[in-house]
Amino acid sequence: MKRKINVLNSFPFFSETQLDVVRNSVPQAVVDSFAYGETEEERSARRKGEINKLGPHTRELSPQYIEKLAEAEVMFTLDAPTDFVRYAPKLKWVQLIGAGVDHLKGTGLFESNVDIVTTRAARLVAEHAIALVLLLAKQLGQYHELSKAHQWQRLFGQTLWGNTVGIVGLGHVGTELARLCNAFETRVLATRLKWQEPPKVHVDAMFPPEKLKEMLSQCDYVVLCMALTPQTENMFGEAELRSMQPGAFLVNVARGEVLQEDALVRALREGWIAGAALDVFRTEPLSQDSELWNLPNLFITPHSASSVVNYIDVALGQFCENLRRYVDGKPPLNVIDKKLGF
């Protein structure tokens, strides 16, 4: 008889029907649920290491949750409470429903032997990035405002063909974005923090981190795709923005903390660059009194790059694949390097 694997789902929004997909796909999995979710404010505070400033942010763990943690061998979740790992002595790996792990500070996962596994949504985020690039290039935001005002006015946009996109962070998302850019016959430049000369798949030229500003000076569009780590936090500021061309556009689908927002506000107001589109922010949700709302050449989406109707199916599919690998004695896919943070 095959050994049973106790799986604890803490993501609040799975239905029993969806969890039955896991049970039917991996019969050895004994799937139980106990919902745990944090607010965007709490996740933002965790990223900054300031979760304790919110006061009693972590609900007192119920005896039922502690009991389930004690038996869990595998866990599927988005959030986790502070120091929860000490209640889970049998835990081998945790799969997150998202790709980012920077909101898990204080949970004990980084200090433990528990593997952190992510759900890869590179194609979804890359599609969103290319949509934002096209929005800026084709002035679609301005056209929307003109149409609401019943104004028939032609604007002069740009092409991707013949222009240059610079990708900061050639990881999973950056590589997928480079592939999409190739379809537009766009010149693609890229850099990555973990420098080694990678195969130039879909990329025309690679730049080491110390030559980032040289790369930026050649780009018509710059897309930030890097993970948030101590090395990337605040890395894109005034010096980098001033290195861009006055007619260039910036897109951020990485994390809000990689970009110095006050420098971006100055850049847009003073015309250092032509415009920007942001999907992520230093504090989420973005406060109602933020200056960013009122900049005419800035477009905002609410951390929604991977918000698509079939995302749950994507996440469940990857989780089931990893469970099957685990049953077969193989390590799960997409385990992060805790030292690097991605």
Catalytic residues: 255, 284, 303
Q: 190, 223, 222: which is closest to 205 by C-alpha?
A: 190
Query: Side-chain half-sphere of 241: how many Cα atoms within 13 Å?
Result: 26
Q: Which residues contact 144 (CB under 8 A, 6 or more apart)?
A: none
> Using CA atoms, how far apart are residues 29 and 327, in angstroms rounded to an integer?
9
Q: 130, 118, 223, 140: which is closest to 181 by C-alpha?
A: 130
Helix (H, G, I), strand (E, B) or coil at 176: helix
The partner residues of 189 in beta bridges, in order of sequence, read 166, 205
Instruction: Tell me how far CA of residue 224 lies from CA of 44, 152, 191, 243, in angstroms.
Output: 19, 34, 10, 15
Are the beta carbons of 173 and 166 closer than 8 angstroms? no
Are the beta carbons of 41 and 54 closer than 8 angstroms? yes
Helix (H, G, I), strand (E, B) or coil at 268: helix
**Dmax of the chain from CA atoms?**
72
Q: Which residues contact 66 (CB under 8 A, 6 or more apart)?
A: 87
**C-alpha distance across the termini of the chain, in Å:** 37
Query: What six digits make up the tokens of 86?
Result: 């000490």
Length of the chain (residues): 342
Query: What six digits make up the tokens of 210?
Result: 């110390």
Instruction: Tell me how far CA of residue 107 lies from CA of 38, 103, 214, 277, in angstroms.
Output: 12, 9, 39, 32
